[in-house]
C-alpha cells in the first residue's frame, strides 16, 4: 500500500474525533501592534488601549480577527506531525469561518482540531478538512470557528 493510501485509510478512522489541542498562546498588545503595522490596519480599537477601554464594551484593545485566524498555523504546529511519506503540508483555505468573540489584549488562546473529512486530491495529495475552534481561556464562547483545509503532499 502506498504512503498516500495508508494515510487515507488511517485518517478515515479519525473522522469525527478531536485530533489535536494546541498549547496556549498569549495575544498581548505588542503582538497586536506588530500585526497592525504589518497589515496596515491600525484602527484605534486595536492599537489604543486607553481609548478602547473608555469607548468600547471590550474593556481594552482587541486583536484583529485576522490575527486570531493567523495563529491557526501555530496551533497546527503543536498538533500535527508529518504523516509517513508526506513531504510537505499546504494551507488549502477555508470553507467557513466565523468570528464569534473579540480577543481582548492579554487573552490566552488555543486551537482545537476535529477531523471532518479526508479526500484524495490527485495521485499524490490528501485533502483534510478540520473544524478549528479557537478557544479563549476562561470564556465559554470561542474566538472563532472555521473549516480549515490542509493538503498533505506525498512523494511518489
10-residue stretch averages of pLDDT, the chain, 156 residues long: 90 97 98 98 98 97 98 96 94 97 98 97 95 98 98 89
This prediction's pTM: 0.93
Distance CA 10, CA 29 (A): 41
What is the tens place of the pLDDT at every residue in 79-118?
Answer: 999 999 999 999 999 999 999 999 999 999 999 999 999 9
Domains defined along the chain, listed by start: 3-27+63-154 (3.10.129.10)
Angstrom distance (rounded) from CA 86 to CA 118: 15
d(CA 137, CA 146): 18
CB neighbours of residue 141 within 10 Å: 8
Amino acid at each position: 500500500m502506498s504512503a498516500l493510501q495508508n494515510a487515507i485509510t488511517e485518517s478515515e478512522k479519525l473522522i469525527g474525533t478531536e485530533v489535536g489541542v494546541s498549547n496556549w498562546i498569549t495575544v498581548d498588545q505588542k503582538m497586536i501592534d506588530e500585526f497592525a503595522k504589518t497589515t496596515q490596519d491600525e484602527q484605534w480599537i486595536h492599537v489604543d488601549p486607553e481609548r478602547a477601554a473608555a469607548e468600547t464594551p471590550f474593556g481594552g484593545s482587541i486583536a484583529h480577527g485576522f490575527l486570531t485566524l493567523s495563529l491557526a498555523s501555530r496551533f497546527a504546529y503543536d498538533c500535527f506531525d508529518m504523516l509517513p511519506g508526506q513531504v510537505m503540508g499546504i494551507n488549502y483555505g477555508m470553507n467557513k469561518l466565523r468570528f464569534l468573540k473579540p480577543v481582548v489584549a492579554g487573552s490566552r488562546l488555543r486551537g482545537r482540531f476535529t477531523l471532518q473529512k479526508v479526500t484524495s486530491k490527485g495521485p499524490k495529495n490528501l485533502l483534510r478538512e478540520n473544524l478549528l475552534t479557537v478557544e479563549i481561556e476562561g470564556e465559554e464562547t470561542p474566538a472563532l470557528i472555521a473549516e480549515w483545509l490542509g493538503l498533505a503532499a506525498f512523494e511518489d
